[in-house]
Amino acid sequence: MSEQEEKNHFIDLSPSRKEFELEIPAEEVEREYSKVLSDYANRVKLPGFRKGHAPKDMVRNLFDHDILHDVYDELIPRSLGVELKAHNLNPVNVPEIRDLKHDHGQPLRCTVAFEVLPEFDLPDYRSVQVPEHPATVDDADVEKALKEIQAKAAEYVPIAGRGVEDGDYVVAEIHGKDLKTKRFLPVEKAVVMAGHAENESALNEVLKGQKPGEERSFRVSHGNDHPNKRVAGKEIEYVLKVSEIKEKKVPALNDDLARSVGEYAGLDDLKEKLRKELLEARERGARNTTASAVLQEIAKKVSLELPESLVERETLSVLKRMLSSASRQTRIPAEALEGLKGQARRQAVEHLTNHLILEKIARQEGLEATEEEIQEEIRELAKANGVPEKYLADMVAKEERREELRETLLFRKTVDFLVKNAIIR
């Protein structure tokens, strides 16, 4: 061990938290100071002197604080880098520098704190026992899927010669007026299903028998809890003008419908394909459920201290996804937001734990994602998303994206390995 290594003290606080107490010799600090001072003297322009010709003593007096910070910014990372390499450590966050002490002519001393991915032992992951999750499809499942296809194939046919009846789809213009302030609300164009239970009862009543081009009015006293803040707690008079009446026509469930929705020989062929697709989807779901159960069982037996900086970053990422999926018009109460934060943190901890477990198992089992597998994945993704293969290949050509894809494939192979070796009870 060198004299300098003896002066630098490593503190192992926990599996994920580490510190170095660094001491940089005075002569090294002075050498760097002289170098930075010369650079300042060559760059600054002071009154009465040509650029680069100001006396160094004057430059030192004027810029000593800035020069010292440049010296610290150069020497501390350099010294820390040497120690990290010597101890084979890789911080997962920006190291925190504290207790910096230095006077001219004296060594530079400071403490550098940082976090690392912890080392941990894996349990016997080759014989994890998990419940069976069978994947089955019955006739009722196929019929439900057929009904959904039938509903999507429905047509909305314009109706003439009669007024609105319950079940009709009405294209209308609605103009509201606040009866208290006499202010008009913006005109809204909408498609309303006449007689629908979620409609205002006054709206359903006024629609009955109304014909295209006809205008009718009705009043609604909205509660304070109405989701539309513009009308909440107000009595509004609405004028409704029907533009068009449409009737929903659902096609018959027969061979013609089957041929119209895809390349099927007939209804029986469509049913068979649906049964196969449903079974494949449920088998994937069962596999994912089994994989989650296996990882949960492994995680229970792992002692793992996650770096708090990683947990915070992942929690923020999960929380952003949660909030982005919520309706923009829905205001989340403070107490509900706190609950979401807790939920996001639990998900973050689970995700990071599984990530580290899978990474270690893959390394221990010698699993890897080959270039051929990456190219095949690009082809499959391009096909699934309906984009040219070259376009997607160019997108993942950058090293960072390619590594993300490689990691995804590697983790998928590791999950497959775990599911294959699990004991189903």
Q: Per residue of the chain (425 residues), give pLDDT as tens.
A: 455 555 789 999 999 999 999 999 999 999 999 999 999 999 888 888 888 888 999 999 999 999 999 999 999 999 999 999 999 999 999 999 999 999 999 999 999 999 999 999 999 999 899 998 899 999 999 999 999 999 999 999 999 889 999 999 999 999 999 999 999 999 999 999 999 999 999 999 999 999 999 999 999 999 998 888 889 999 999 999 999 999 999 999 999 999 999 999 999 999 999 999 999 999 999 999 999 999 999 999 999 999 999 999 999 999 998 888 765 556 677 778 888 999 999 999 999 999 999 999 999 999 999 989 989 988 888 888 888 888 888 887 776 788 888 999 999 999 999 999 888 77
Q: 3-state DSSP call for residue 220?
A: strand
Expressed as residue numbers, the domain containing 197 is 155-249
Query: What's the number of domains the chain is made of?
Result: 3
Global pTM reads 0.73
Here the tokens at position 414 are 């590791």
What CATH number corresponds to the domain at position 32?
3.30.70.1050
Residues 405 and 275 in one domain: yes
What is the Cα–Cα distance from 403 to 398, expressed in whole angstroms?
9
What is the Cα–Cα distance from 67 to 132, expressed in whole angstroms?
67
Which of 234, 240, 241 has the alpha carbon at shortest distance from 183? Answer: 234
Domain boundary among 54, 89, 115: 115
Residues 301 and 238 in one domain: no
- Compute how many other C-beta atoms are within 10 angstroms of the C-beta atom of residue 315: 21
Domain assignment of residue 339, yes or no: yes
Beta bridge partners of 191: 171
Residues 12 and 98 in one domain: yes
Residues 200 and 278 in one domain: no
Residues 60 and 200 in one domain: no
Domain assignment of residue 141, yes or no: no
